[in-house]
Amino acid sequence: MNINHHLDEATLFSYVAGALSQGMALVVASHISICDSCRERVFETEAIGGALLDDVVNDNSPDSSSVSVKVNETALEQVLACLDEEAPVTTPGKIPPDGESTVGNTSEVPAPLRDYIGGSLDAVQWKRLSSGFYYFDVFSEQRGICRLLKVAPGKSILHHGHHGNELTLLLRGSYADEVGRFAQGDIADLDDQIEHQPLVDGDENCICLVATDYPLRFTTLLGKVIQPMTGF
Amino acid sequence: MVNVVPIRKNSMTAIQSKVWSAMLAEMAVTKDKSLYIQLYQHFAPKVKAYITRLGVMEATAEELTQEAMLNMWRKSHLFQPEKSAASTWLFTLARNQSIDWMRKHKYPEYSLDNMQGGIEEVSETDIGEQSVQSERIAQAISQLPENQALVVYMSFYEGRSHSEIADRLMIPLGSVKSRIRLAAEKLKLTLRGELSLGGEQ
């Protein structure tokens, strides 16, 4: 897959730190699963986490950031007693819901997203928003959203900005906006500095996974009027 | 012994880190419980300290630590010493365990299904390199400017999002992100050996 738009370093860093909202973490994990270069960057960033773990308790250093924590003495015995117990070794994010992995074009749905929507974009229970616009809420968030959007060719999303971050992963089709042109696998990693109006420029539906950590900031009166109805 | 880095004054830590990674890789193959006990005694206090820093109560931190340490045994076949040091892998186990508990939802993890090349044969040099990098980063973090170190700590130790950090420090979202970018860039340059420790900030 030819991916031209990648994750911002700050987003990738917070994902590794475990500091992203559930929705944004899902978009990031989905992109990383299909993007070799971002995955390499993740490995590097995880090493920072390892170094912090190494440093959090360091008996050799009087560093004030280090804390002394003792583990309950019987804890080791308890955990040793569990070692021989059979445990299902599951790797989260790798196992699609039963029976759905073979339906449709699974390569369009990155593995982490498969846990939530199954293996086919065509099997999603789309809800109509308006003519040419469909959505499916992957799950609801406290402040932002995490949803799939399906937009027909030639349609444009109302001009808007952001109060916080907005992550968009292209799963099918393409769109163009003030930032550039985005196609399958690309990620648009935007923040409150960007205002844009994405236009679906191909001849097929554009399907993307979008997560925000704040409601959008529509710049037109129409956008402001319909915002409560759209859930954005 | 494989000569992987120039000798530095803190190279003892690097050697220790390398030993832990080799030990974990060996335990994954042999399932030797005496190795597990040594790894547990070394890492469990670190894992618990990290989880406690995330704001979890003592009893729960203890429980989550136990789960993470049990996963060290159960998932040891997934440890890739050519990709990460033992402490890095333990960090991801501890992070996922605590976030899953705090949010009651699984933290979305990237899949390794599409990894090219699969599991590689591991040489002693590979293990050494990852472990040495871990030690270099620890040193580099301590040398970051205070405002950059702060966002690193707030991200990793407090699990705060960009907007939460912005609210808390009363600075624009863009400033939080640029501080994180600067810190990450510096730490990664150090990781690649392109920035000397104790050098410019």
Between chains, do B188 and A45 touch, taking CB under 8 Å as contact?
yes
What residues does each domain of chain B span?
10-107+122-142, 145-194
Out of A14, A29, A193, name the one closest to residue B161 (CB).
A14
Of residues A135 and B135, more confidence is placed in A135
Q: Per CATH, the architecture of B10-107+122-142 is what? A: Orthogonal Bundle (1.10)
Q: Do A75 and B46 count as a contact with CB atoms less than 8 A apart?
A: no
Q: Residue B110: its pLDDT value, please?
A: 79
Indicate the residue of A46, A82, A111 with minimum beta-carbon distance to B91. A46
Cβ within 8 Å of residue A159, ≥6 positions away: A195, A196, A197, A218, A219, A220, A223
Q: For chain A, give the percent of residues with pLDDT over 90.
A: 47
Quote ipTM for the complex: 0.83
Q: Inspect the interface and report whether the beta carbons of B141 and A110 lie closer than 8 Å.
A: no
pLDDT(A105) > 50? no
Could you say which residues from 119 to 138 on chain B have a Cβ atom under 8 Å away from some Cβ of chain A? 130, 133-138
Span A19-23, average pLDDT: 91
- Residue-wise pLDDT for B2-48, tens only, equals 344 343 445 566 677 788 999 999 999 999 999 999 999 999 999 99
Average pLDDT over chain A reads 82
Q: Highest mean pLDDT range out of A28-32, A226-230, B186-190? A: A28-32
Question: Averaged over B115-139, what is the pLDDT?
Answer: 58
B107 CB within 8 Å of a chain A CB: yes
How far is A121 from B45, CA to CA, in rounded Å? 45
pLDDT score for A230: 66
pLDDT class for A130, splitting at 50, 70, 90?
confident
User: Of the spans A22-26, A95-99, B3-7, B130-134, which averages the highest pLDDT?
Assistant: A22-26
Q: Reply yes or no on whether the pLDDT at B124 is more than 60.
A: no
Give the minimum alpha-carbon distance from B173 to chain A in angstroms, rounded to a whole number: 7
Gap from B1 CA to chain A (nearest CA, Å): 23
- Contacts with B, A 147-186, CB within 8 Å: 164-165
| Mean predicted confidence (pLDDT) in A187-210 | 90
Helix intervals (H) in chain A:
9-17, 22-34, 36-56, 75-82, 111-117, 221-230
Other C-beta atoms lying within 10 Å of the C-beta of residue B85: 31
Of all residues in chain A, the one with the smallest CA distance to B163 is A164
Contact B92 A93 (CB under 8 A): no
- B positions 162-181 inside 8 Å of A (CB): 162-163, 172-174, 176-178, 180-181
What local confidence, expressed as pLDDT, does residue A11 receive?
A: 97
- pLDDT, residue A157, reads 82
Selected residue with higher pLDDT from A39 and A158:
A39
pLDDT mean over B154-170: 93
* Among chain A residues, CA nearest to B83: A43
pLDDT at A193 over 60: yes
The pLDDT of residue B120 is above 60? no
Which residue has better confidence, B104 or B43?
B43
Structural class in CATH, domain B145-194: mainly alpha
Give yes or no for residue A61 having a pLDDT over 50.
no
Res B175 pLDDT > 60: yes
Residue A106: its pLDDT value, please?
Answer: 52
Q: Does B186 touch chain A (CB under 8 A)?
A: no
Sign for the pseudo-dihedral over CA of B66, B67, B70, B75: negative
CB contact under 8 A, B157 and A28: no
What's the confidence (pLDDT) of residue A145?
87
More confident residue, B201 or B156: B156
Q: List, in sequence order, every residue forming a beta bridge with A134; answer none if it has no partner.
A: A128, A150
Q: Indicate if the pLDDT at residue A103 is higher than 60.
A: no
Q: Where are the domains of chain A?
A: 1-57+93-232
Q: Give the count of Cβ contacts less than 8 A between chain A and B.
A: 234
Report the SS3 class of residue A90.
coil
How far is the C-alpha of B170 from the C-alpha of A58, rounded, in Å?
A: 32
Establish if B13 touches chain A: CB-CB under 8 angstroms: yes
**C-alpha–C-alpha distance, residues B155 and B180, integer Å:** 9
Question: Across residues A196-218, what is the average pLDDT?
Answer: 86
- Looking at beta carbons, which residues of chain A come within 8 Å of B32? none
Whether pLDDT at B109 is above 60? yes
The CATH homologous superfamily for domain A1-57+93-232 is Jelly Rolls (2.60.120.10)
The span from the CA of A108 to the CA of A115, in Å, is 14
Instruction: Give residue for tokens 């899953």.
Output: B100
pLDDT exceeds cutoff 50 at A210: yes
Q: Is A78:B65 a contact under the CB 8 Å cutoff?
A: no
Q: What is the DSSP letter of B120?
A: P
Question: Between chains, do B177 and A191 touch, taking CB under 8 Å as contact?
Answer: yes
Question: Is residue A211 a contact partner of residue A189, using CB atoms and an 8 Å limit?
Answer: no
Mean pLDDT of A210-221: 74
